[in-house]
Amino acid sequence: MPKSKYCIVFLVFLIAVSCDSNRVYDEYKSIPDQWNKDSAVSFMVTPPDTINNYNLFVNLRNTNDYKFSNLYLVVELNYPNGKIVKDTLEYRMTAPDGAFLGTGFTDIKENKLWYKGYDEPFVFNESGDYKVKIQHAMRKNGEVYGVLNLEGITDVGFRIERDKTN
């Protein structure tokens, strides 16, 4: 490979890495076929400090097999000293015409969904490891019991970004 091709490959890599300078943590876990309602996806996070503001996101990848226009999630944030914050969140997954929201050119769409930091600054105010648990809470209209196995979600992720206003 000529020297100029090495330079081009290096520059492309450098640009790709530098475009995501706000990222502190970003990890995905695959969902094996269907997402069981009792299966929580867990992430262990060690934030860099207890001073600065951060934005927290739930990331999802879905296929056309996802049959709903919205998504309900229960997200639990376990602090190092024992405090637990549990939120039930609703996200829109389709536009009014039924087209899936998110990014991607194939039948897999990637969604970056706000969790914390959008309405007020979020600070990891305790030092140590935080545990994040995410599980779905979907149910069909008019039914009491939730959807046992949710189809169409292929990956669940958790992301932390530095707040750009810091």
Residue 2 lies in a domain: no
pLDDT given for residue 14 in this prediction: 46
> What residues have CB less than 8 Å from 157, skipping those under 6 apart?
26, 27, 28, 29, 58, 59, 60, 61
Residue 108 lies in a domain: yes
pLDDT tens per residue across all 166 residues of the chain = 556 655 455 555 545 545 668 899 999 999 999 999 999 999 999 999 999 999 999 999 999 999 999 999 999 999 999 999 999 999 999 999 999 999 998 889 999 999 999 989 899 999 999 999 999 999 998 888 889 999 999 999 999 999 987 6
pLDDT given for residue 145 in this prediction: 86
Residue 1 lies in a domain: no
Pick from 116, 14, 102: nearest CA to 64: 102
Residue 137 lies in a domain: yes
Q: 34: domain range?
A: 22-162
CATH of residue 37's domain is 2.60.120
Domain total of the chain: 1
Residue 10 lies in a domain: no
